[in-house]
Structure formats: structure tokens, C-alpha cells
Amino acid sequence: MLFGTACTILSFGLRKFFALSALFVVVSATAFAGRGDKAGTAAATELLIPIGAEAIALGGSSLATVTGIEAMYWNPAGIVRASSSTNAMFSHMSYVADIGVDYGAVSTNIPEVASVAIGVKSLSFGKIPVTTEDYPDGTGKMASPAFVMLSGAVSRLITDRIALGVSATAIFENMEKVSATGIAFSFGLQYAGLGGVDGLSVGVVVNNIGPAMKFEGDGLQRIGQVDDVLRPPTSYTIEAASNDLPSTIDVGLGYIAILSEREQVTLTTVFRNNNYSDDEYDFGAEVTYDHVFALRGGYSAAPQSEGGEYIFGFSAGIGVRARIEGIDLSVDYAYRGARYFGGNSVVGIRASF
């Protein structure tokens, strides 16, 4: 009897989920258009590097279902839906070209007010030889670029079904003798119980809205001679061009089917409209058992991309959860395939109090 009821619920929810998925994919594909012709021209593209082993394993498709501290990056509206009042996480990813991406964040709930969170993401590039016009093979010196992002977010339940969130990220980039700073805002919404179906939810996020960025510093100074001016060569500062942030509009659906007291299945999908690259379609699935073990898989595609420009595809991961002395601990691992560069490995640890 229990199995039959679970199958009926799952079947009904799946029909709703896939019908809505097909609808929003068709609508979004016709209503929005990516800008693949502008690829590589945006500022602060490190904002698009994902974080969190759980969401990455799902192909970045958990926009509508993500909750807790990991939601700070994917959809700030989900922060308030955390099962515990205080949450913390740390993750490390081996990104393309041996770039390391570290992320740490903490959130807490202020009763009857909102949930707040802060986080930091940093990129490590290692040592890079310094080259100049006079020494194209290197000066013998080494440089270590520093890219750091500091974020803060606020999330609040408007009703028992609707959650809203907003985040702000301060961007700091330093490369040898030039640097740039900027700020990006993201706004998110989650609506649970879509169409009166328990477990069916929708999420919408507008990411990385802010002023253009440009580099400044001593590295832009040159010695030159101005034509038609009777003065010796002197030092001039080159005015660097400014570039817009890589903004996106994400729309996602999620369906959580509770099969029994121990088994749960989650299906997710996202359409991501990119202002500075081709649009993406992400899909994910997760099976959890006894709230202890999770198996995840995902797939990302950019159908408009030509010539293999979009390098990502399949992803997979696992998660293990345990309660130790009143603290819920989760350890997650994800692997994301990347053409030409090998895969990205991500390890994450989360704690809830």
C-alpha cells in the first residue's frame, strides 16, 4: 500500500515537473538570447565559477531547491530555508589550468527578522613568470595574482511558500602592478508548492548586476612622446577600457518526491541566460537514503555554442551526513568533466548547529 501510494505521488509529480520543464525551456529559449559573440569580454568572470560540491554535482541546476548556506551563491532566497539556525561550510575546487578555488561561508537566523550570511571566495594561481615588451621570455621575477570576493546576503520568508533573498559581492583583483575593484548584486526568489503540488518548486535569480570595472595602477604607465608638443618624453598613464559584469538570468524548477521515511528523490533543471556567453541548460538528479547518504548526477549543455567553446558536461557526486555531539556534519564530493583541461574535483564540508 505504501509503495503504491509513493509511486502514485511520484508519477503525478513527475508529470507536472517534466511538463513545466518543457514549457519553460521553450519559452526561455525564445524569450532570451545568449551573447556568444561577446564571450571573453566581460569583467570579473570569476563570479561565474561555481562553489559547493552538492550543487556542482547536480550540474548547477538546484536553483529552485537549494537551501541553507550553499544557497548564498546559487540563490540567496534559499538561505532562510535552512533546517538549522546556524550553518557553516568550506569547499575547495581544483579548477581548470591548475587554478584552486576556495570558499568559506557562515549563516545564521535572526528570529522573526531574516537570515543573514557572509562568505569569501578566493582563487589561487600559483607563481607566474613576469614578462614585458623588452623581456618577452621573462624578467626573472615571479608574480602571484590575487582574486578575492567578499559576499553578504539577506534572506526572508514572505509567506510559507515564498522566499526572497539579495546578496552583494565586493570584487578585488590584483595582477602585479594593476588592480580593479567592483561590486555585484544578485536577487533571488523561491516559490514552493507550485501549482498546488507538494515538492514542486520554482526559482528565479538575477545575478551579478553592478557597475562596470576597469584596471588601474602603475602597470598602465608608459614613457612616451606626444606629437606636436615641444617637451621631452615623459610618463603617461594609459586609460584602460571598462567592461561590464557577467550578468545572468536563471530560471529553475525542482521536484522533491518523498518515497518513504528513508528514501527521497530530487529532480532539478535550470535555464541560464548569459549576457556574455551562450545560454546554458542544466539538469540534475539526487537520491538520498535515510538522510545520511546521497548520490547525485547532473548534465550541463550550451546548444548554441559552436566549435566546442562550452567545455563542461557531465557531473556526479556523493554526500555523507552524520550527527556528532549535536552538530550535523556533511561531507560532499563532486566531479565535473571539462573538455581540454581534465575534470574539476570539489570537496566540501558543512556544519549545522
Asked whether residue 133 carries a pLDDT value surpassing 80, the answer given is no
How buried is residue 47: exposed, middle or buried, by Cβ count under 10 Å (0-12/13-18/19+)?
Answer: buried
2-352 topology per CATH: Porin (2.40.160)
Asked whether residue 285 carries a pLDDT value surpassing 80, the answer given is yes
Q: Compute the distance between CA of residue 336 and CA of residue 159 in angstroms, rounded to an integer.
A: 36
Kindly state the cell numbers that stand for 34: 545568449
pLDDT at 10 (0 to 100): 45
DSSP 145: -
Asked whether residue 22 carries a pLDDT value surpassing 50, the answer given is no
Rounded alpha-carbon distances, angstroms, from residue 48 to 73, 265, 352: 10, 28, 26
The bridge status of strand 114-124 relative to strand 146-157 is: antiparallel
pTM of the model: 0.85
Asked whether residue 34 carries a pLDDT value surpassing 60, the answer given is no
pLDDT at 228 (0 to 100): 72
Are the beta carbons of 17 and 267 closer than 8 angstroms?
A: yes
CA dihedral (226, 229, 232, 238) positive or negative = negative
Asked whether residue 3 carries a pLDDT value surpassing 60, the answer given is no
Kindly state the cell numbers that stand for 197: 503540488
* Mean pLDDT, residues 129-139 taken together: 84
Q: What is the pLDDT confidence band of residue 308, given thresholds at 50, 70 and 90?
A: low
Residue in the structure block whose three cell numbers are 551573447? 35
SS3 state at 10: helix
Question: pLDDT by residue (tens digit) across 239-274?
Answer: 888 999 999 999 999 999 998 889 999 999 999 998
SS3 state at 71: helix
Kindly state the cell numbers that stand for 257: 518526491
| % of the chain at pLDDT higher than 70 | 88
Q: Which of 181, 151, 149, 183 is nearest to 165 (CA)?
A: 151
Q: What is the pLDDT confidence band of residue 5, given thresholds at 50, 70 and 90?
A: very low
pLDDT at 37 (0 to 100): 52
Q: Compute the distance between CA of residue 186 and CA of residue 97 in angstroms, rounded to an integer.
A: 28
Q: Which of 219, 221, 237 is nearest to 178 (CA)?
A: 219
* Mean pLDDT, residues 127-138 taken together: 84
Q: Compute the distance between CA of residue 167 and CA of residue 73 in angstroms, rounded to an integer.
A: 9
Q: Which of 29, 65, 43 is nearest to 245 (CA)?
A: 43
Q: First-to-last CA distance in the chain?
A: 37
* Mean pLDDT, residues 315-335 taken together: 95
Kindly state the cell numbers that stand for 95: 579548477
Q: What is the pLDDT confidence band of residue 6, given thresholds at 50, 70 and 90?
A: very low
Q: Compute the distance between CA of residue 283 and CA of residue 235 in angstroms, rounded to an integer.
A: 54
Asked whether residue 11 carries a pLDDT value surpassing 70, the answer given is no
Element (H, E) at 20: helix 2-31
Domain boundaries, the chain: 2-352
SS3 state at 76: helix
* Mean pLDDT, residues 150-159 taken together: 96
DSSP 168: E
**Higher-scoring residue by pLDDT: 335, 233:** 335
Question: pLDDT by residue (tens digit) across 177-236?
Answer: 899 999 999 999 999 998 888 999 999 999 999 999 999 988 888 777 777 777 777 777
Mean pLDDT value across the chain: 87
Q: Which of 142, 161, 149, 91 is nearest to 123 (CA)?
A: 149
Kindly state the cell numbers that stand for 264: 527521497
Asked whether residue 29 carries a pLDDT value surpassing 50, the answer given is no
pLDDT at 189 (0 to 100): 95
Question: pLDDT by residue (tens digit) across 48-93?
Answer: 999 999 999 999 999 999 999 999 999 999 999 998 999 999 999 9
Q: Compute the distance between CA of residue 209 and CA of residue 148 in angstroms, rounded to an integer.
A: 18
Say what the alpha-carbon torsion angle 20, 21, 24, 26 is, to the nearest 10 degrees: -120
**Higher-scoring residue by pLDDT: 242, 38:** 242
Q: Compute the distance between CA of residue 254 and CA of residue 87 in angstroms, rounded to an integer.
A: 23
Q: What is the pLDDT confidence band of residue 40, given thresholds at 50, 70 and 90?
A: low
